[in-house]
A and B are shown apart, each in its own frame.
Chain A
Amino acid sequence: MADKIATREAYGNALAEFGEKYNIVVLDADLAAATKTGVFKKKFPERFFDCGIAEGNMVSVAAGLAAAGMIPFASSFAMFTAGRAFEPIRNAIGYPHLNVKIGATHAGITVGEDGATHQCLEDIGTMRTIPGMTIINPADAVEARAAVEAAILHKGPVYLRFGRMATPVLFDQADYKFELGKGITMAEGKDVTIVATGIMVNIALEARELLKNEGIDARVINIHTIKPLDEELIVTAARETGAIVTAEEHNIIGGLGAAVCECLAGTCPTPVKRVGVNDEFGRSGKVPPLLEMYGLTAANIAANAKAAIALKK
C-alpha cells in the first residue's frame, strides 16, 4: 500500500508486458518518454511508430491500422488526443467503430507545473459524447495494467485515461479482477455514497475516514469505466444511501459527475454534489497545492458529502 506509481508508468509497462501475448502496435506523437510508450518501443521497436508532433494524423493512421485488422494504441497527452484530435477520433475511429485504443496520459490538473494548456479537464466530456466509445480512468497502477489488457480484449474504440503523478497503489495485483463497465465498491456505507474515479478514489477513501470521525457512514464506489457507466451500481447506491457525491479530476461539466446526474435524473432522482474542477482552467504549480486550490481534497469531498446528506428529503 505504501508504493506510489503513476498510472502512465503502469501503462507503458503493461504495453510491454502484453506486447508479448498480443499483436499490438503502438503509436506516439513525440512523447514516448513521457507517455511511457518508450518502454514498449525498447522491447518491440518493429511494432512502435513515432508519428511526430501530429496527433490528428496519428489517430487517423491508427484508424487505418485497425481497419486492416491490427490493434493499435495511439498515445499522447489527453489534451492532444481527446482535445486536439477530437474530430479525427470522432469521425475516423468512433463513427466506423474501429478497434483503436487511445492511451491518453497527463490527464487532469496533476500535470502540475506545465499549467493550463496541458492540464486536460475536458477529455471525459468530449469522449463521452462519441457513441460507442468506452472510457476507462483507472484508480491506480494495478487497475491501469488490467485496463490495458481489458482494452486489448474489447473489440471497439477505447479511451484510456492516465495520470502523470505517482499515486498510491490501492489494489493487490494477485487478486485484482477488472471487469469492463463494472464499478467496484471500495467500502460499504449507508449514509451517503462517494462515487469517485481515477486518483480521486484514494482521496475519497480518505474522505470516508474524515466522515467516520463525525459519525457519518460513507460508501465509496470506484468507477473505472465511465462509459458504459455501471448504472445499476449507482442507482442501487442512490436508493440505499439517498445522497451522492461525485469526485473526479476533471471539469464538473461533462465528466463523471455529469454522467452520474444524467443516470439518476431519469431513474432515481437523488441529491448529487459534484467535486471536481469548477468550470475553470488550471494553472502552474506543485501538485499538492494545486489539488488544494481546486478543491480536489478529502476535506472538500467530506464537506460536499454532508451537503448532499442535508439535501435528503
Chain B
Amino acid sequence: MEMAKINELKRIAANIRLGILEEVYSASSGHPGGSLSIADILAYLYFVEMKVDPKNPDWEDRDRLVLSKGHTAPALYATLAERGFFSKEELKGFRNINSFLQGHPDMKHTPGVDMTTGSLGLGISAACGMALASKLQNKDFRVYSILGDGEVEEGQVWEAAMFAAHYNLDNLCAFIDFNGLQIDGKITEVIDPTPIDKKFEAFNWNVVVIDGNNPEEIEAAVENAKACKGKPTAVICKTIKGYGVSFMENQASWHGTAPNKEQYEQAVAEITASIK
C-alpha cells in the first residue's frame, strides 16, 4: 500500500475516532472502547473496499456490513457520516430522544445501516442470510460483519459459523475485534473463548490473523477473503481497545463509559495530534 493511501486511511480513521468521541461525549453515554478499536477496519471497508452509494443507501446491489457487535454503533455512525450518508451534525444527537441515531444500529431509521443489531450473536447470522441471498439472486455483492471477541461467547455465533461453512458462503467475511477485553474484564478471565482462530478453523472457515489497527494488514486480509473460494473468511483482528486515546487504551472500564469534558478534550487533542 502506498504511503499516501496509508496516510489517507489513517486520517479517515482519526476522523471516525473524533466522531465516536463527539457522540459518546454529547450523549454522556455509549461505548467508546470497542468503537475506537474498529475504526481502522471501518475506514478501509467504507473508503476502499465496499460498493456503496451514500445517495442511494438501499441500493440492492451494494455490499453490506452487519455490525454484529452493535454496541459499537458510534463507530459505524461516524463512518457513515464521514462517507456522506448523513450530516456529521447528526452525531451530536446520538442516543438523544429526537435522533435517528439509536443506542444500537437501527436499519429502519438510519441511512446506511444494513441490519438492526445490538443483541450479540444475531448479526453474524443475519449476515449469513444476506450472503445466501446474494447467491440466490445471482448477485455479486459481498457481506462483511464485525464481531466482538467477547461476542463469540454467544453460542449462536457458532451456529452461524456452521451454517456459513456448510453453505460455502465465500462472499462472507467476518472480522473479530480481538481486543482481549469485555465488560467484566479480560476475556480470558471472564470465560475464555480462545483460541478463536483455531475454533473458526475447526468450523471450516478460512482464517487470517492480523493487526486490526494496521491498514495494510486489513487490505491483505480482505484480498485474501475475496480470493478464497468455497469458504467464509474470519479475520481475527488483534486490536487495542480504546485505540488512540492513551487513558482509554486496554482499559475494560472504558467499554461503556462516556468521557467527561476534561477527558473528552484530552482525547480529541491526542487523536488530532496523531494525524498532524
Contacts and interface: CB of A to CB of B under 8 A. Distances in A.
Contacts of A70: 133, 136-137
Contacts, number: 106
B130 A51 contact: no
Given A64-B126, A97-B108, A54 B162 contact: yes
A68 B134 contact: yes
A57 B160 contact: yes
Interface in B128-153: 128-134, 136-137
Interface string B97-116: 00000000011100000111
Given A52-B162, A57-B160, A57-B163, A64 B125 contact: yes
Contact of A60 (B64, B125, B162): B125
Contacts of A96: 106-108, 115-116
Contacts of A97: 108
Interface in A26-83: 47, 49, 51-52, 54, 56-57, 60-70, 72
Contacts of A57: 125, 128, 156, 159-160, 162-163
Contact of A68 (B122, B130, B163): B130
Contact of A67 (B121, B130, B160, B167): B130
A62 B125 CA distance: 9
Nearest to A97: B108
B151 to A, nearest CB: 13
Nearest to A88: B122
A71 to B, nearest CB: 11
A307 B216 CA distance: 77
Interface residues of A, number: 27
A200 interface: no
A92 B155 CA distance: 16
A61 B106 CA distance: 17
A25 B169 CA distance: 17
A130 to B, nearest CB: 13
A171 interface: no
Contact of B159 (A56, A66, A91): A56
B108 A61 contact: no
Contact of A61 (B114, B132, B137): B132
Interface string A256-271: 0000000000000000
The A contact surface, by secondary structure, is helix
Contacts of B160: 57, 60-61
B188 interface: no
Contacts of A49: 132, 167
Given A56-B121, A57-B156, A65 B137 contact: no
A140 to B, nearest CB: 32
B119 interface: yes
A95 interface: yes
Given A61-B125, A91-B122, A68 B116 contact: no
B144 to A, nearest CB: 13
Interface string A78-105: 0000000001100110011100000000
A91 B117 CA distance: 8
A69 B138 CA distance: 13
Given A67-B114, A68-B64, A97-B108, A61 B128 contact: yes
B128 A91 contact: no
Contacts of B107: 67, 96
A70 B132 CA distance: 10
B93 interface: no
Contacts of A47: 136
A62 B133 CA distance: 10
Contact of B137 (A51, A69, A72, A91): A69
25 contacts: A25-B136, A51-B163, A56-B156, A57-B159, A60-B129, A60-B156, A61-B128, A61-B129, A61-B163, A63-B115, A64-B125, A64-B128, A64-B131, A65-B129, A65-B132, A65-B133, A67-B115, A68-B133, A70-B133, A70-B136, A88-B119, A91-B118, A91-B119, A92-B119, A92-B125
Interface of A: 25, 47, 49, 51-52, 54, 56-57, 60-70, 72, 87-88, 91-92, 95-97
Given A64-B125, A67-B107, A91-B119, 16 more contacts: A49-B167, A52-B163, A56-B156, A61-B129, A61-B160, A61-B163, A62-B129, A63-B125, A64-B129, A64-B132, A67-B129, A67-B133, A68-B64, A68-B137, A70-B133, A96-B106
* Interchain residue pairs A-B with the least CB separation, the first 9: A64-B129, A60-B125, A68-B133, A57-B159, A64-B126, A54-B159, A96-B116, A61-B129, A65-B129
